[in-house]
Chains A and B, each alone.
Chain A
Amino acid sequence: MTAVAHQLARERLPRGLAEPGLDIAKIRADFPILAERIHGKPLVYLDNAATSQKPRAVIEAIVGYYEHLNANIHRGVHTLSVKATEAHDAARQTVRQFLNAGDTREIIFVRGATEAINLVAQTYGRMHVAAGDEVLITAMEHHSNIVPWQILCEEKQACLKVAPIDDRGELRLDEFEKLIGPRTKMVAVTHVSNALGTVNPLRGMIEMAHRRGVPVLVDGAQAVPHFAVDVQALNCDFYAFSGHKVYGPTGIGVLYGKRALLDDMPPYQGGGDMISSVTFEKTTYNVLPFKFEAGTPDIAGAIALGAAIEYIDGIGMDKIATHERELLAYATEAVGGIEGVRLIGTASERAGALSFVLDGVHPHDLGTILDREGIAIRTGHHCAQPVMDRFGIAATARASFAVYNTKEEVDALVEGIRVAREVFA
Chain B
Amino acid sequence: MDDLSELYQEVILEHSKAPRNFRRPASANRHAEGYNPLCGDRCTVFIDYEGDRIREIGFEGSGCAISRASASMMTQMLKGKTREEAVKLFEEFHDLVTGKEDLAAHAEDLGKLKVFAGVSKFPARVKCATLAWHTLQSALEGQKETVSTE
Contact = CB atoms under 8 A, between A and B. Distances in A.
Interface in A351-371: 360-365, 368-369
Given A362-B63, A368-B125, A381 B40 contact: yes
B4 A365 contact: no
A368 B3 CA distance: 11
A212 interface: no
A363 B39 contact: yes
B18 to A, nearest CB: 12
Contacts of A364: 39, 41, 63-64, 66, 125, 128
Contacts of B40: 380-381, 385, 388, 394-395
Contacts of A380: 38-40
B136 interface: no
Contacts, number: 49
Max chain B CB contacts within 10 Å: which of A360, A361, A372, A394? A394
A116 to B, nearest CB: 24
Interface residues of A, number: 18
A368 to B, nearest CB: 6
B38 A424 contact: no
A365 B64 CA distance: 6
A372 B8 contact: no
Interface residues of B, number: 20
A379 interface: yes
Given A364-B64, A394-B62, A423 B39 contact: no
B4 A379 contact: no
Interface in B121-143: 122, 124-125, 128
Nearest to A361: B65
B7 interface: yes
B115 interface: no
Nearest to A396: B40
Nearest to B8: A423
Contacts of B4: 368-369, 372, 423
B38 A362 contact: no
B62 A365 contact: no
B28 interface: no
Nearest to B62: A394
Contact of A365 (B38, B42, B66): B66
A377 to B, nearest CB: 13
Interface string A206-249: 00000000000000000000000000000000000000000000
B13 A424 contact: yes
Contacts of B128: 364
Given A394-B40, A394-B41, A362 B3 contact: no
Max chain B CB contacts within 10 Å: which of A363, A364, A369, A379? A364
A365 B124 CA distance: 11
Contacts of B7: 368
Interface in B17-63: 17, 38-42, 62-63
A359 B45 CA distance: 25
Contacts of B63: 362, 364, 394
A395 to B, nearest CB: 5
A393 B115 CA distance: 29
Interface string B96-124: 00000000000000000000000000101
Contacts of A363: 39, 64
A368 B125 CA distance: 8
Interface in A75-90: none
Given A369-B4, A372-B3, A395 B39 contact: yes
Contacts of B64: 362-365
Given A362-B63, A362-B65, A368 B124 contact: yes
A363 to B, nearest CB: 7
B66 to A, nearest CB: 7
Contact of A394 (B8, B42, B122, B124): B42
Contacts of A362: 63-65
Nearest to B65: A365
Nearest to A379: B39
Nearest to A424: B13
B116 to A, nearest CB: 14
A424 B15 CA distance: 12
B12 to A, nearest CB: 10
A154 to B, nearest CB: 20
A385 B8 CA distance: 28
8 contacts: A362-B64, A363-B39, A365-B64, A365-B66, A379-B39, A394-B39, A394-B62, A424-B8
Interface of B: 3-4, 7-8, 13, 17, 38-42, 62-66, 122, 124-125, 128
Given A372-B4, A380-B39, A394-B40, 10 more contacts: A364-B125, A368-B4, A368-B122, A368-B125, A379-B39, A380-B38, A380-B40, A388-B40, A394-B62, A394-B63
Q: What 9 A-B pairs are tightest by C-beta distance, nearest first?
A: A362-B64, A364-B64, A394-B40, A381-B40, A395-B40, A364-B39, A365-B65, A380-B39, A365-B64
